[in-house]
Amino acid sequence: MVDLHMYRYLLLLLFIWLNIIGCENNDECIDESKISNNSCYEIYAPVCGCDGLTYDNDCYAENAGVTEWNEGECE
């Protein structure tokens, strides 16, 4: 028979492990549900997307489904 304390300890470890794996999956760079063909303003204000691509401006990055970006061109 497994000791009750050992059982609780194993459940706690499993819970922590599942949370770690769940957090890793939340770091998606492209959200496919946000990809669109909306028109964007034609001002060149480049942003570097988390996917390593340079977009003309934040509107183009959003239309590509990019979830995070920094101002300026990618290096």
Render each residue's pLDDT in the chain as its tens digit; 75 residues: 567 777 787 777 777 766 665 544 446 899 999 999 999 999 999 999 999 999 999 999 999 999 999 999 999
Please state the domain count of the chain: 1
Q: How far apart are CA 53 and CA 65, in angstroms?
A: 12
In this prediction, residue 26 carries a pLDDT of 43
Domain that holds residue 52: 4-71
If we measure between CA atoms, which residue out of 46, 51, 57, 54 comes closest to residue 30?
51
Distance between alpha carbon 41 and the CA centroid of its chain, in Å?
A: 25
pTM listed for this prediction = 0.63
Residue 25 has a pLDDT of 44
Spatial contact of 40 and 60, defined as CB atoms under 8 Å apart:
yes
3-state helix, strand, coil in the chain (%, to 5): 40, 15, 45
